[in-house]
Amino acid sequence: MIPTPHIEVDKKGVIADTVIMPGDPLRAKFIAENFLEDPKLFNKVRNMFGYTGTYKGKKISVMGSGMGMPSIGIYSYELFKFYDVKNIVRVGSCGAYTDDVKLYDVILAEAAYSESSFAEAMAGIKEDTLKPSAELNKKLEEAAKSLNIDITKGTIHSSDVFYRVNSDDYKKIYKEHNALAVEMESFALFANAQVTGKSAACLLTVSDSLVTKEATTSEERMKSFTNMMKIALEMAE
Ligand code: HPA
């Protein structure tokens, strides 16, 4: 086959049925090198590293998505549509909209609310709230339970904006949509899964809080996200 514009793989079977997608390609490299056996790099176009290896004997891939809906929209579509990928589990960071979730808590998205035009522009989908695969979510919940890792389930907000002039704007979205936290990718990922008939889910670790203004450094984030990775890998196992 001809490689896609953004993934330099020219045959099927190189990328596993299940792809774990962090936003940061260096985090994909970290997961591959620290958790997978025999990881092989399959993509370096635009430094968006993707690897396939095995976890407890099962073939699995991990690839960066980049930040924001346009970026994950491109990579997840190419994986679903052209490489026969069946499941994508996003593993990302988020900012808390409520005191109910604390720094480093793991959130399993039950729905993604967004004011983004992605789903409508992509496929005429008019809903502003999209859901992940119930089956994947069930597996992720079971994996978390078997690892004794607490997770919080709820709606998240997929935003196009990281820096807002009015930093209190989030309160309205929290109130109206009951969104626990904000990130920037899941709505587009769920739209692409819906359009291609595939499955997607999203696990997030709280990296900062819009309520308390606490934050973590990029190095702390890299190290603290292992719980979320373990859940995603255990699910694929
Ligand atoms: N806003 C948007 N995306 C994020 C944030 C945030 O505060 N934290 C982690 N991803």
Best residue among 114, 208, 216 to mutate for probing ligand 1's pocket (most ligand atoms within 8 Å of CB) is: 208
DSSP 12: T
pLDDT digits (tens, 9 = 90+) for 144-160: 999 999 999 999 999 99
In this prediction, residue 217 carries a pLDDT of 86
More confident: 17 or 220: 17
Going by alpha carbons, the residue nearest to atom 3 of ligand 1 is 183
Instruction: Answer yes or no: are the C-beta atoms of 25 and 3 closer than 8 Å.
Output: no
pLDDT digits (tens, 9 = 90+) for 175-210: 999 999 999 999 999 999 999 999 999 999 999 999
- Give the residues across from 37 on adjacent strands: 54
CA distance 69 to 72: 5
In this prediction, residue 53 carries a pLDDT of 98
Going by alpha carbons, the residue nearest to atom 6 of ligand 1 is 95
Fold of 18-235: Rossmann fold (3.40.50)
Q: Are strands 87-96 and 37-43 parallel, antiparallel or unpaired?
A: unpaired
Active site residues: 208
Give the ipTM of the model, two decimals please. Answer: 0.96
pTM for this structure? Answer: 0.97
Where do the structural domains in the chain lie, given as residue ranges?
18-235
In this prediction, residue 223 carries a pLDDT of 66
Secondary structure (3-state) at 220: helix
Å from CA of 186 to ligand 1 middle: 12
Å from CA of 130 to ligand 1 middle: 19
pLDDT digits (tens, 9 = 90+) for 20-56: 999 999 999 999 999 999 999 999 999 999 999 999 9
